[in-house]
Structure 1
């Protein structure tokens, strides 16, 4: 299920790259609504799916392998931290033109971690401290992400008005891509 959510996000970002210039030329509001509502909505759903998958992994490991509850939780938190850092690097340096305006991933993680911290029994356990560290890293990452988006939006905009009046079909025919 989580993999399917990320595939849907990939297709929505890919379609916007192909038809984005045309949407920007004629329907600028549609382009921004697509970015805000569709892409960020799918990103929220994919993030919740990832977090629930990590929670399910914790429960599965705890009951199927008879590993301690703290060790299973620590493994899931470590995987969450690795995914967060990997996604931050990918979205800012490799996938920038596709996912530049997706920002809802980090607030979802912050909300989830805040809920986990508020329901924690012991504030001195190493799980609680690790959750708090990941929460702090998530807060720093979202501030850095918003700053990078603002800087890139001003310095390197995704779409430039080149004066071409092309239909989506004409744009798609000029692209040599596997997915149209």
Structure 2
């Protein structure tokens, strides 16, 4: 029987503990939300891009997805193949990955503290959301690097576990990262309007342009250079679409250029999403059911 990695086990348990703590604090914080959540916590800081409170119900889906992959990782400690625990065989979710995710959870507590304390500024929330974004991005980089190193034969042998990693870890973190990207854009917009003094319409249009550039660059990269890594990532576009749809429903005004811009961007992201589905499953059908997994 292979020797267990004590450090990994401790980090896996701490990941679950920190996640549960964040859920408790999150529940308390969300119960204090008003109709419109504004990232600067000032009641007069509403902008053309602030989504309604119900839009943040997506956090429930994000948290449930994180809970699913955390539980899955814990099961890999108990299950073995070829005399070794699954987590050691695949070595995709590693100790550095878990350590960074724990840091992310601690930073989440910091963000909730900022909201509860009603800090009257925009810089602190902006830096807080950005730090969350960086930690999730680092987790995904580690994940993709390790997944690409899994031998093809092992991936076929443990294809159920590889599928769980793709569905739970890869898509769960991608949804988390996508929503944090939207949040970064919203808090940046508030910062530009209420701290820098940029006119609201101009700031909103610049923010939407930045988001459009990010999504478009990602779309082309995932179909070319990043195809090997993110071809089975499907949660990115629906998450962005959810945010844009919420803004459109809540703030639609045909006389407002921002509303038109949001609607156009929503349609563009939708086209990207359906194109992604068509390209992915078109290539999958051409190569066979498990050929794509063998590339890992």
TM-score class, shorter: 0.7 to 0.9
The alignment partner of 1:94 has SS state of: coil
Superposition RMSD in Å: 1.8
Is contact 1:23–1:31 with CA below 8 Å preserved after alignment? Answer: no
CA distance in 2, matches of 1:151, 1:128: 35
Q: Counterpart in 1 of 2:292?
A: 158
| Corresponding residue number in structure 1 for 2:125 | none
- Which residue number corresponds to residue 22 of structure 2? none
Paired residue for 1:10? 141
Is 2:265 aligned against 1:134?
A: yes
Whole-Å separation in 2 of the counterparts to 1:109 and 1:77: 12
CA distance in 1, matches of 2:219, 2:202: 26
2:155 matches 1:21:
no
1:132 deviates by 0.5
Normalising by the residue count of structure 2, what TM-score does the alignment of the two structures yield? 0.52
Question: Larger RCO: Structure 1 or Structure 2 (Cα < 8 Å, ≥ 6 residues apart)?
Answer: 1
> How many Å apart are 1:70 and its aligned residue?
1.3
Of 226, 236, 242, the match for 1:95: 226
1:143 and 2:277 equivalent?
Answer: no
- Secondary structure of 1:93 counterpart: coil
**Distance between the aligned counterparts of 1:96 and 1:72, measured in 2?**
33
| CA separation of 1:20 and 1:153: change in aligned 2, threshold 3 A | farther
Alpha-carbon distance, 1:71 to partner:
1.2
| 8 Å CA contact retained: 1:20, 1:159 | no
C-alpha contact 1:40 1:103 (8 A) present in aligned 2: yes
- TM-score w.r.t. structure 1 length? 0.84
Q: Distance in 1 between matches of 2:152 and 2:184?
A: 36
Q: Deviations over 1:12-35 (max 9, x none)?
A: 111111115244232111111100
Which digits, 9 at most, give the CA deviation of each residue in 1:37-95, with x for residues without a partner?
10000000101111111111001111121111111111110011000100000111111
| Residue of structure 1 in register with 2:207 after alignment | 76
Which sections of structure 2, spanning at least 5 residues, go unmatched?
1-130
- SS at structure 2 position matched to 1:19: coil
* Structure-2 separation of matches of 1:44 and 1:128: 24
Match of 2:65 in 1: none
- Return structure 1 stretches of 4+ with deviation > 4 angstroms: none
- Does residue 1:46 correspond to 2:180, yes or no? no
The answer as to whether partners of 2:153 and 2:294 remain within 8 angstroms in 1 is: no
Paired with 2:171 and 2:267, the residues of 1 have a C-alpha distance of 22
Q: Is the 8 A contact 1:44 1:104 kept in 2?
A: yes
Number of residue equivalences: 162
